Chains A and B, each alone.
Chain A
């Protein structure tokens, strides 16, 4: 049996994860606040948020590790927690830092989990360890593993269930650059097999490289979600202008209706355009500078990164109302 051949046939239903009005409180603290989340099947989906935003709590609630106070949720179209066993039979997950019994080997830890999982999981232990490149250390005690090795063992623990949906909480934590690269490749390959991978992270660059869609969570609420390209398209474009007189150019452009703000530093002018600006807007900017007598040496449209966009979105939220 190999992992790739052992893929389950996907059930009907558009969403791998679906929540409506999901709320989880710890006393007066609302950790998950009326979350509406839709994770498309067969994709890598990033769940982004600053520390303490409620990412792990949402995952724990989805997996039945803690109960929700209100709202509905389903995994792979199966309502949970009502049909928790059926849903989790097709789900693999790492929550928080992956920890195992330290006094037994990685393989023996997987045997414990395979025994609980059933359904041929024990036969997938070997292939899973091979896939995460842990076969050589599989018989060593877990207490001798590095954090990165435990992360990989955690992924192997997910794979023994041949999951249709993987939920990975901060999977890049503790990995060195090579390990992060491997993890990224693995997520890509899992998605290529038709599985859905939902990962939470604060490493925005990694998420942008790995995921097709994201949700941004802040203070327990999902504030944006959708395909990354669509979200970035809605962000403000920034144009870097090299010119003889950046301060004069900034004064010249400030009254323009297509300019959000200007910032002249170190001889370079950064112009933030309003949402909806096009390439013609950049040409118009150039025209106004030339017409105003500013010598323009170069114009460069700066690609907005997920990190820039995330910071702009979350910092706006952080401002007092």
Chain B
């Protein structure tokens, strides 16, 4: 059986050599799909609004107000603004990424192009995989630009940086590692305490308080985990995140966006319905996830941990964890406490849950694409 096509002008196309059956998409497939997505005006407007316009508008207004009336309006780049913007960018990033994924997964089918594409003889799985780099190439750079703008404003239009932070009544130097903080607290227990420490009924620790009973060093050893969280939260409240923390936050947001895109793509390919997919994922993100992350359900704890929102919340960089009245800034529009109330997972478990969601939805999408009637 011949696998070549020979043309009269001498062109020979080896059908096997052009990898038509391969699962790997070609560069032209990726770039043309990128072009098709980029040409969707409504989708692009939504992407730009939620990834770029949101931080630009919020920070732009704060810059303006601070310039006009600095007495009443603080610097635009304060740590609280940075933290306050990071979470919505991640949330809206997830939602718009899910919409882009659903579009990439469902519109070829809905608009009648899927049939034309299948008739080319190209592997259906390759057609599916071409959508992943196309969509991510559209999303990730825009999210990065928006986040970089936030970082620049925070770095150059922020508050004057202190050299120490106040932790539960004591003064602690900045940027200590966990081990360094441990040594510091043990070495300065008496300076801090000047007497016994106390622990109130709600679990908060007072190093400088009075009261009988507890050896300061022993108390620090047994409650160090909570003290460390307090220290991190105090740093995130009072300080701009250092560049490495900003980079971590940026990567964390990009991971959230990637997850949204992959899940949207897989679900969109599965259902063939863009609108349904977007509605389901928005509901998952702003209703189901907050419900399941804000309460510990004893008999369903491991089920809760399988939710990607819980894993993402627990994986969130330390600079995004504040002590403003609750553990964590709250991961969703309707949420408050975030998943930090759920007993934490080991890092490998968080990563496994996230990778599992990515692999599972990629597999579901590819399988449906390969088996669907066109």
Contact = CB atoms under 8 A, between A and B. Distances in A.
B373 interface: yes
A85 B15 contact: yes
A89 B13 contact: yes
Nearest to A86: B15
A263 B33 CA distance: 64
A83 B5 CA distance: 15
A5 B26 contact: no
B180 interface: no
Interface in A1-18: 1, 5-9, 11
Contacts of A104: 35-36, 39
Nearest to B121: A88
B17 to A, nearest CB: 10
Interface in A276-302: none
Contact of B118 (A64, A101, A103, A109): A64
Contacts of A274: none
B31 to A, nearest CB: 7
B107 A101 contact: yes
A108 B112 contact: no
Interface string A108-119: 110111111111
B6 A99 contact: no
Interface in B71-125: 107, 111-113, 115-123
A101 B9 contact: no
Given A86-B15, A117-B122, A112 B36 contact: yes
B13 A115 contact: no
B113 A109 contact: yes
Contact of B113 (A85, A86, A101, A162): A101
Contact of A118 (B28, B35, B40): B28
A115 B373 contact: no
A66 interface: yes
Given A95-B115, A99-B112, A116-B127, A89 B5 contact: yes
A191 interface: no
B374 interface: yes
A1 B374 CA distance: 32
A116 B111 contact: no
B16 A119 contact: no
A91 interface: yes
Contact of B32 (A7, A111, A162): A111
A93 B119 contact: yes
B20 A89 contact: yes
Interface in B1-41: 1-3, 5-9, 11, 13, 15-16, 18, 20-21, 26, 28-29, 31-33, 35-36, 39-41
Contacts of B28: 114-115, 118, 122
Given A100-B116, A101-B107, A89 B15 contact: yes
Interface in A211-251: none
A131 interface: no
Interface in B312-333: none
Contacts of A108: 32, 35-36, 39
Interface residues of B, number: 42
Contacts of B1: 77-78, 83, 86
B26 A118 contact: yes
A102 B111 contact: yes
A116 B39 contact: no
A63 interface: yes
Q: Which of B33, B39, B113, B121 has the most CB of A within 10 A?
A: B121
Given A5-B9, A101-B111, A103-B39, A113 B117 contact: yes
A271 interface: no
B32 A112 contact: yes
A88 B120 contact: yes
B112 A6 contact: no
Nearest to B42: A103
A161 interface: yes
B13 A119 contact: yes
A122 B374 CA distance: 24
A157 B116 CA distance: 8
A71 interface: no
Nearest to A80: B121
Contacts of A112: 32-33, 35-36, 113, 117
A11 B5 CA distance: 9
A52 interface: no
A6 B123 CA distance: 25
Interface in A62-108: 63-66, 77-78, 83-93, 95-104, 108
A321 to B, nearest CB: 33
B111 to A, nearest CB: 5
A66 B374 contact: yes
A65 B113 contact: no
A100 B31 contact: no
Nearest to A117: B120
Interface string A180-191: 000000000000
Contact of A103 (B7, B13, B41): B41
A286 to B, nearest CB: 56
Contacts of A86: 1, 3, 15-16, 20, 121
B122 A85 contact: yes
Contacts of A1: 9
25 contacts: A6-B9, A8-B5, A9-B5, A9-B7, A65-B118, A65-B374, A84-B121, A85-B123, A86-B15, A87-B121, A88-B120, A89-B15, A92-B119, A99-B112, A100-B116, A101-B107, A103-B41, A104-B35, A111-B35, A112-B32, A114-B28, A115-B29, A115-B32, A118-B28, A162-B5
Interface of A: 1, 5-9, 11, 60, 63-66, 77-78, 83-93, 95-104, 108-109, 111-120, 122, 157, 161-162
Given A78-B1, A104-B35, A116-B120, 14 more contacts: A60-B374, A65-B119, A66-B373, A89-B20, A91-B121, A100-B112, A101-B107, A101-B113, A102-B111, A103-B41, A108-B36, A116-B117, A116-B122, A120-B11
